[in-house]
Amino acid sequence: MPAAAGDPLSPALRSLLATLRLRPRHAPGRQGIGHHASRNRGSGLEFAQYRAYESGDEPRQIDWKLYARSDRFFVREAERDSPVRAWVLLDTTASMAQADEAAPTRRRFDVGRLLATCVYEIAQRQGDACGLVLCGGAGVALETPGIGPRQRDRLRHALDRVDPRGEWPHATALAPAWGRIARGDLVVAIGDWFDDAAVEQLVQLARAGREVIAIRVLTADERDFPFADGRRFVEPESGESLLGDGPVLRADYLARFEAASRALAARLAAAGIRLATQWTDAPPDAVLRNLFGERA
């Protein structure tokens, strides 16, 4: 079933998100009641909103008095000081505009934006604050972590109005935003991670006590190199190009790509960063389960 108009998440994907949790390896313990594996509920919480019951919600969250009046199931959502503060860091550089030749309207950035929305929805459901950092040619844009429906609207609006362009910002431009990400915060970084400077920033965040999860979004063309003719290959950020024959280049390209991917994984693992790869021609379910499911 497709998503409702204006909603980027299909009912099936929403049902999956209801089973997932943001689980930092180390509970920050600076606010709230500490690390948890369930959404807000119980007494002593500030009521935020009603929403329609979804698969995965616990029956005790249902407002039975409202059900008696409306004959529909609604659950109560509440707000509290959050024990987990999460950030979605999204690469908005020009390379994120790349798409597969067979599906030119399916950009890498659109897949990254969907993943960003999923991460926020998981945080929203469990009552944890989530913010957003956008890094690209337009500079650095930041949305402070928050909870509730207004925060959801702010993040969606920020994601909708941005378009990938330019190169990764210089470290000096990133410093103010990095200073807002506190020690112990969870950072879910989404991008292609081809830029060495961008990868180094993730490593520095992890070494400074931030927990970093990296999701690498790659195209099917990068995985398969299906080109059967001669063409000019252009690097979208630098403009550098290479004229070559697809079949002749394929074996060497695939070997180099695999070696570079292994090197990136090893570099991130050495810094304690979890890495998952999302292909543009695959649904996000497997990556989300791998990072945020029960076995994560």
Residues 137 and 275 in one domain: yes
Residue type, 130: C
Distance of CA 294 to CAs 19, 160, 283, 291, Å? 8, 31, 19, 9
Asked if residue 55 has pLDDT above 80, the reply is no
Tens of pLDDT, residue by residue over 133-187, are: 999 998 999 999 999 889 999 999 999 999 999 999 999 999 999 999 999 899 9
Q: How far is CA 56 from CA 13, 45, 62, 114, in A?
A: 12, 21, 12, 21
Instruction: For residues 243 and 187, state if they share a domain.
Output: yes
Do 100 and 181 reside in the same domain of the chain?
yes
Please tell me which residue, 72 or 198, carries the higher pLDDT value: 198
pLDDT band, very low/low/confident/very high, at 42 (cuts 50, 70, 90): very low
Q: Are residues 167 and 91 in the same domain?
A: yes
Indicate the number of domains in the chain.
2
Query: Per-residue pLDDT for 81 more than 60?
Result: no
Residue 101 within any structural domain of the chain: yes
181 lies in some domain? yes
Co-location of 258 and 213 in the same domain? yes
Q: Are residues 176 and 278 in the same domain?
A: yes
Whether 2 is covered by a domain: the verdict is: no
Average pLDDT, the chain: 86
Same domain for 245 and 261, yes or no, is yes
Q: Is 3 inside a domain boundary?
A: no
- Closest to 222 in 3D by CA, of 202, 193, 190: 193
Residues 178 and 270 reside in one and the same domain = yes
The answer to whether residue 4 is domain-embedded is: no
Q: Is 48 helix (H, G, I), strand (E, B) or coil?
A: strand
DSSP secondary structure code for residue 293 in this structure: S
Long-range contacts of 98-102 (CB under 8 A, 24+ apart): 98/192, 98/219, 98/236, 99/219, 99/280, 100/219, 100/220, 100/221, 100/280, 100/281, 101/221, 101/226, 101/227, 102/220, 102/221, 102/226
Q: For residue 73, what are the domain limits? A: 11-30+38-79
Both 22 and 108 in one domain: the answer is no
Decide: helix, strand or coil at residue 63. Answer: coil
* Residue 64: pLDDT over 60: yes
| pLDDT for 56 | 59
Q: Give the pLDDT confidence score for residue 31 in this predicted structure.
A: 45
Q: Is residue 61 assigned to a domain?
A: yes
> How many whole angstroms separate alpha carbon 151 and alpha carbon 132?
10
Within a domain: residue 118?
yes
- Please tell me whether residues 58 and 98 are part of one structural domain: no
Going by their DSSP bridges, the two strands 99-100 and 103-107 should be labelled as antiparallel
Please tell me whether residues 113 and 155 are part of one structural domain: yes
